[in-house]
Amino acid sequence: GIDKVAFTGETDTGRRIAEVAAKTLKRVSLELGGKSPNIVFADADLDAAVIGSLWAIYYSAGQSCEARSRILVQDEAYDAFASAFAERAKALTVGDPLAEETKVGSLISRAHADRVREFIEIGIADGGELLAGGPRAELNGDLDADAFVPPTVIAAVGNDARIAQEEVFGPVVTLNRFADEAEAVKIANDVRYGLAATVWTGDGGRGHRLAQRIRSGSIGINTPFIAFPGVPFGGFKESGYGREQSIEALDLYTETKAILQNTSPKPVNPLGV
């Protein structure tokens, strides 16, 4: 009795749902995982890129499918951006999610926090340079540190490293260099996901060139926001298919029916008999 299944969650679960739904040809829309790039060109407003990039990864403690968890910075701006971003990340207040001054709260469970800490350790073991954060947060009061992970920045890992390829779903970002537009696009697309992306540049034409070439469902140019009411939201590749929060979403819940009626007083006689 079910005609349509909509799922938001982890990619492997979405894949299983699609397999089961295929047996009875139920229609499915899937909004799944992400490993989204945040690309900063040397001609970008550096301060805007830093503060926007902080929000893009650390809001909801990184527990967002569209979190821009891979920051790619053009060579000429890399050192200045890395320094400024790491210092701002260290300054973010970690604590009680209900406290007004808190910028990064707890993770959904202690078990998930342990998983995020494992990813940090893997990233460092793979040669990553820890610029900010780490496995443990320093907290005030009687908060349980096992439920928290501080805003973490890991630099200098290759795009083939696990920390750069797998969804961490926590406040952890990788930081890497690129030389030009072609390399930025290559690195951005070199993951199995394609949910979101952000491009920071002073060249509007470049922003739209990259938006066309990056295989992601939502792309922001000089803004960290990639989801907005009325704007289609959904992914490419293993980030799923179908769109949400827009007129396109209604098409997923409707069937088109064709009805033809003859209004001529004469009978339809296509064979001419």
Task: Report how far apart, in Å, the C-alpha atoms of 178 and of each of 57, 183, 205, 218 are.
Answer: 20, 6, 19, 22
Catalytic residue among 19, 65, 166, 238: 65
Q: Is 129 a catalytic residue?
A: no
Please identify which of the residues 10, 19, 31, 244 carries the catalytic annotation. 31
Establish whether 66 is a catalytic residue: no
Q: Which residue has the tokens 């072609």?
A: 182
Catalytic site positions: 31, 65
